[in-house]
Amino acid sequence: MKTARREAWTGRVLLLVLMAATLMPFVSLFVTALHPSGSYPLGLDWPDDPQWGNFATAFTAARMTELLKSSVLIVLGVVPISLVVATMAGFAIGHLRIPGRRFVFVAFVLGLTLPFEGIVTPLYYLARDMGILNTRWAIILPLIGLFMPFSVFWMRAHFVNMPEELSESARIDGASTWQLFWKVHVPLAAPATSSLAILLFLWTWNQFLLAIVLVDDPLQRTMSGALGAFQGQWGTDIPLLCAGSLLILTPTLLVFLIFQRRFVTALLQGSLKG
């Protein structure tokens, strides 16, 4: 029993250290954000006169309302389309057992680890020729494609485990394939689709490379891409940069804290399947 207790204590201490190491950067960011704009504060020195106004300044400077709107629009473009399209494909490959499904599946799986840098150059010229360069579509459409391997993989994993009898009985009742999909399987897939939605939201929101390459105007980018531009414009002012970074982090953090259970589970499952 003694060993068990000692182990528990080491565990607790370790957890605390780990949490401190995780949080310390955020604390440093926060403290720095309170220093007078334009100064070069030391790492963790509490300012004599905390400048709470920096957050307001950064809010205006970063044009947060417009940024939020832009990111939300992009997420609204990527997530619903991806969900519908991937659920349909997952259903067909995993449940309908269409001919050639193994080939289709492998084709998608091969895209799972594709680095975005591998295709970002042609995507630029592709977007330009389609006339969507510097619009949000230039981020939305390629992202749907790039997330498709994982989304299909994820939904297939769900549909493979759905019992055949379910569909059999629906068919006996005269349901068409579409009705079978829409009325029976989509509602049952809710847990899988909602987890996928969380993952897609996060990945879209945080997408950086496509945002900086395909869209010049920070106000048409994702949050992450806008943060890059914010660094470009205000990187010369450390406290303001820190305040702005914290503001840009806040929406993700809020969503994460609200849905944290689902988030953690989804991400863990997500990586396991991926």
Partner 1 sequence: MKAAAQRRRNWAGWLFVLPAAAFYVVFVIQPLAMTVQYSLYSWDGIGVATWNGVQNYLRVFTDPDLFAAILNALKLIVFFSAVPVMLGLAIAATIRRIAASRLALVARTVIFLPQVIPLVAAGITWSWLLSSTGLVNQLLTAVGLEGITRAWLGDFSTALPAVGVIGAWVLLGLCTLLLLAGMSKIDPALYEAARLDGAGPLREFFSITLPSLRQEIGVCVTVTVVAALASFDIVYISTQGGPGNASMVPGLEIYYLAFSEREVGLASALAVVLTVLVIACALPIQWLTRDRSS
Partner 2 sequence: MVVILGGSLAAACAAPGSGNAQPTAAASSAPALSAAPTCGTEPITLKGYFETGFPIARALTDEFTKQHPNVTWDIREDQFAVITQNAPRVLADDPPDLMRLPQVSELVKNNLLKNLDDYAKVFGWDKWPPSQLEQMRLAPGGAVRGEGSLYAMGLNFSMTGVFYNKKLAEQIGMTTPPETLADLDAALAKAKEAGLAPIAQFNGGATGGLAFPLQDLMASYGPPAPINEWIYQKPGATIDTPSNLQATQHLEKWIKSGYFWKDVNAVDYATMMSRFIKGDGLFMFNGDWESGNLDKQMAGNIGFFLMPPAQAGGKRAAMSAPLTFGIGANAKNADCAAAFLNWVATDTQARTIGVEVGGSHPMGPADAPMPPVAAGSVTENTLAAGARIAEDNGAMDFIANATGAIYAKSWTPNLQKLVAGEQTPDGLLKSVQADYQSQVKGG
134 binds, among partner 2, partner 1, none (CB under 5 to 8 A by kind): partner 2
92 binds, among partner 1, partner 2, none (CB under 5 to 8 A by kind): partner 1
Restricting to residues 157-176, name those near partner 1 by CB under 8 A: none
Which tokens in the block code for residue 224?
């992450």
Residue whose C-alpha is closest to residue 234's, from 213, 248, 253: 248
Q: Would you mind telling me the total number of residues written for the chain in this entry?
A: 274
Residue 15 found at the interface with partner 1 (CB under 8 A): yes
Residue 206 found at the interface with partner 2 (CB under 8 A): no
Restricting to residues 115-154, name those near partner 2 by CB under 8 A: 124-126, 128-130, 133-134
233 binds, among partner 1, partner 2, none (CB under 5 to 8 A by kind): partner 2
Q: How far apart are CA 216 and CA 230, in angstroms?
A: 13
What are the φ and ψ backbone dihedral angles of 92, each rounded to 5 degrees?
A: -65, -45
Using the rule CB under 8 A, give the single segment among 47-55, 58-66, 187-195, 247-255 that binds partner 1: 247-255
Q: How far is the CB of 131 from partner 1 (least distance, A)?
A: 15
Query: Contact 112/274 with Cβ under 8 angstroms?
Result: yes
Q: How far is the CB of 267 from partner 1 (least distance, A)?
A: 6
Angle at 18 between CA 12 and CA 22, to 5 degrees: 145
Q: How far apart are CA 127 and CA 138, in angstroms?
A: 6
Q: How many residues bind partner 2 (CB under 8 A)?
A: 21
229 binds, among partner 1, partner 2, none (CB under 5 to 8 A by kind): partner 2
Residue whose C-alpha is closest to residue 136's, from 78, 79, 61, 197: 78
Q: How far apart are CA 153 and CA 188, in angstroms?
A: 17
Site string for partner 2, 21-40 (x = CB under 8 A): -----------------xxx
Judged by CB under 8 A, which of 34, 64, 132, 141 binds partner 1? 141
Q: Say how many C-beta atoms besides its own lie within 10 A of residue 116's C-beta.
A: 15
Judged by CB under 8 A, which of 89, 132, 192, 200 binds partner 1? 89
Judged by CB under 8 A, which of 53, 80, 235, 274 binds partner 2? 235
In this structure, what DSSP letter does residue 135 have?
Answer: S
Contacts (Cβ under 8 Å, ≥6 apart) of 86:
148, 151, 152, 154, 155, 196
Q: How far apart are CA 226 and CA 136, in angstroms?
A: 13
Residue 24 found at the interface with partner 1 (CB under 8 A): yes
Judged by CB under 8 A, which of 34, 149, 158, 218 binds partner 1? 149
Q: How far is the CB of 184 from partner 1 (least distance, A)?
A: 14
Q: How far is the CB of 60 from partner 1 (least distance, A)?
A: 19
Q: How far apart are CA 203 and CA 143, in angstroms?
A: 9
Q: Which residues bind partner 2 (CB under 8 A)?
A: 38-40, 124-126, 128-130, 133-134, 216-218, 229, 232-237
